[in-house]
Structure 1
Amino acid sequence: MKLMFKILILSLFFFTITFGQVAVKDIDKTIFVYGGDFNKVFINYVVGLTKKPHPKILFIPTGAADNANYINNWYSNCAELPFIPYVLRTFINSSPKQKTFEEQILECDAVIVGGGNTLNMLAVWRAQGIDTVLRKAYERGIILAGGSAGSLCWFISGSTDSRPKELSFVEGLSFLNYSHSPHYHSEPTRQPLYHNAILTGKLKPGYACDDRSGLLFINGVVKKSVSQNVDNNNYFVSVVDGKIREELLPAEIIKE
Structure 2
Amino acid sequence: MLRLFFIIGLFIMNLSVINAQDKKIFVWGGDINLKFTRYIADLTGKEHPRLCYLPTASGDNPDNIRFWGSICNALKIDTLVMNVWVSASPDNQSFEDILLNSDAIVVGGGNTLNMIGIWKAQGIDKILKKALNKGIILSGGSAGSICWFEKGISDSRPTSISAVEGLGLLPYSNCPHYSQKERQDLFHKLIGNKKIHSGYAFDERAGILFVNGKAKEFVTQSDKHHLYHVFLKGKQLEIEKLEAKIVVSKNAIPEGEYQTTEVEKKLSEIAPDGKSTPLSAYVTSKKFLKAKSHS
TM-score between both structures, scaled by the size of structure 1: 0.90
Alpha-carbon offset, residue 130 of structure 1: 0.3
Structure 1 residue matching 2:87: 3-state secondary structure: coil
Please tell me whether residue 167 in structure 1 is matched to residue 129 in structure 2.
no
Kept in 2, the 8 Å contact 1:53–1:83? The answer is: no
SS in 2 for 1:55: coil
- Give the structure 2 partner of residue 131 of structure 1: 125
User: Following TM superposition, by how much is the alpha carbon of 1:84 offset from its aligned partner in structure 2, in angstroms?
Assistant: 2.1
Match of 2:92 in 1: 98
Q: Establish whether residue 251 from structure 1 lines up as the match of residue 251 from structure 2.
A: no
1:198 partnered with 2:186? no
| 1:144 alignment counterpart | 138
- Name the structure 2 match of 1:214: 207
Secondary structure at the residue paired with 2:232?
A: strand
Give 1:162's aligned amino acid.
Answer: S
Structure 1, residues 56-109: CA drift from partner, whole Å, max 9, x if none? 000000000001111001001111214222000001123683100000000010
**Structure 1 residue 23: Cα displacement:** 5.5
Q: Is the 8 A contact 2:107 2:139 kept in 1?
A: yes
Q: Contact conserved, 1:184 with 1:208, CA < 8 A, in 2? A: yes
Alpha-carbon shift at residue 228 of structure 1 (Å): 0.3
Match of 1:241 among 234, 243, 264: 234
| 2:145 is equivalent to residue 155 of structure 1 | no
Calculate the aligned-residue CA RMSD, in Å.
2.0
C-alpha distance after superposition, 1:32-73 (max 9, x if no partner)? 000004210010000010000010000000000001111001
Residue-pair matches, total? 243
Note if 1:39 corresponds to 2:30. Answer: no
1:95/1:194 CA distance change after superposition, 3 Å: closer
Question: Residue 197 of structure 2 aligns to a residue in which SS?
Answer: coil
| Residue in structure 1 matching 2:177, options 183, 206, 222 | 183
Q: Report whether the alignment pairs 1:76 with 2:70.
A: yes
Higher strand fraction (1 or 2):
1
1:243 CA displacement: 1.7
Q: Give the 3 Å change call, closer, same or farther, for CA 90–198 of structure 1 in structure 2.
A: same
List per-residue Cα deviations over 1:137-176 (Å, max 9, x = no partner).
0001001100000000000001110001110111111110
Distance in 2 between residues matched to 1:96 and 1:33, nearest whole Å: 29
What SS does structure 1 have at the residue aligned with 2:138? strand
CA distance in 2, matches of 1:227, 1:57: 21
Does the aligned pair in 2 maintain the 1:53–1:82 contact within 8 Å?
A: no
SS at match of 2:65: helix
Other-structure match for 1:26:
20
Whether the aligned pair in 1 keeps the contact of 2:51 and 2:79 (CA below 8 Å) is yes
Q: How big is the shift at 1:118?
A: 0.1
Distance apart, 1:22 and its partner CA: 0.8
Pairwise CA distance, 1:21? 7.8
Higher relative contact order (CA 8 A, sep 6+): 1
CA contact under 8 A between 1:125 and 1:131: conserved in structure 2?
A: yes
Which residue identity is paired with 2:238?
R
Q: Which runs of 5+ in 2 are unaligned?
A: 250-295
1:229 maps to a residue whose letter is: S
